[in-house]
Structure 1
C-alpha cells in the first residue's frame, strides 16, 4: 500500500502544484475561470465522498481503489484535450473526485492489511503521502521553471503515468471483502 500511496500522491502533488499553471500557461484560459473550475471540483468531490463510501461498502474498497486510480489516470491525461472552460471543468471534476474517492477506499484497505495495528500503518501511509506530494511539487516546479507548453504537456503525461503506476501496484493488493449493509424492512 505504501508504494501505491507514493505513486498516487506524487501525481497528486504534481496536480496540486501545477494544475492551475497548466491551464493558464499552456492552455491559455483566464485564471478566474480555472479558479472557479477548481472550486467547483472541490465541492463536487466533497459531496460525492459519501456515495463513494457506499460503493466501497457494496463492491469492496479494492475495486473502488482500482477504479479511482484508473479514472485519475484517464482524467489527468484528458487535461491535454481540454481547451475550453466546460471541458476543463469536466476533467478537473473527474480528476478531483477520483482522487478523493481514492482516499475513501484506502481506509478500509489499511484496516484489512494492518495486522491489528491500523493506526501505525495509517501514520506510515500519511508520511509516505507527504513525501509523494513533496516529490510531485518538486517535479511540478521544474515545469513551472521551464514555463514551456511542451514542458507542461510532459508534466501532464507524467502526472497521469503516476496514477497508472499506482494502479498497476494496487492490482497486487489483496482482495478485500465488501460490507453488505443489512436490508431494510419494507423495501
Structure 2
C-alpha cells in the first residue's frame, strides 16, 4: 500500500505549486486574521465602534461576490479567478498601509472581502479540475487541513511581530500578508499541468 493511501493523501505529482500556494495563502491570512479589528484600531487610530461598522459594511457589500464568483469561474476558469482574487487582496492590503480614513478603508475592506469571496469557490473548482479520479475528497480534506494549519501558524508568527514591533509590527503583518497573496497568485498563475 502506497504512503498516500495509508495517510489518505491525494496524488500531488505535478501539482506541488498549488499546494505551496495554498500554504502561503493560509499563512498570510493567519498573519492578519486575528489582528484585523486591532490593526485598524491600534495602527490607524480608528475607534472600535467605527472599525466594527467598517467591517460589517464591507461584509454586507461583498455578499454578491459569492454568487457572481460562480458565474465568473464558469466563464473564465477557476485559475484566473483565483489569481485575480489574490491580486485584489494584494492591492487592498498594500493600500491599508497608506490609508487611515474610515470611508476609504470601508472601500478597501469591501474589495478585500470580494477577493475573499471569489477565492474560496475558485479553490474548490480548481481542486475539482486537478484531482485524480476518486481523490477529490482527499484534495478537499488536504486543502482544509493545510488551511487550518497555515492560519494557525500565521497567527503565531503575526503575534510575534505584533508583540515585538507594536504599531510597526501591525504594519509588517499587513505587508507580509500582501506579499503572501502575491506569491500565491504567482505560483498558481505559472503552474502548468
- Please report the TM-score for the alignment, with normalisation by the length of structure 1: 0.88
Alpha-carbon contact 1:66-1:167 (below 8 Å) kept: yes
Match of 1:28 in 2: 45
Deviation at 1:23, TM superposition (A): 0.8
1:166-177 map, 5 Å = 166-174=184-192
1:1-150 map, 5 Å = 1-116=18-133, 117-146=135-164, 148-150=166-168
Equivalent of residue 155 in structure 1, options 173, 186, 189? 173
Count how many residue pairs are aligned between Structure 1 and Structure 2.
175
Aligned-partner Cα distance in 2 for 1:16–1:42: 14
Match of 1:46, SS? coil
Alpha-carbon contact 1:14-1:137 (below 8 Å) kept: yes
Deviations 1:77-123 (CA, angstroms, capped at 9, x unpaired): 11112211101111111112202211111111101111112111100
Deviation at 1:147, TM superposition (A): 5.6
**Greater displacement, 20-29 / 32-41:** 32-41
Aligned-partner Cα distance in 1 for 2:32–2:63: 17
Which residues of structure 1 form unaligned runs of 5+? 176-187
Instruction: Report the aligned-residue RMSD.
Output: 1.5
Deviation at 1:149, TM superposition (A): 2.0
Alpha-carbon contact 1:82-1:91 (below 8 Å) kept: no
Which residues of structure 2 form unaligned runs of 5+? 1-17
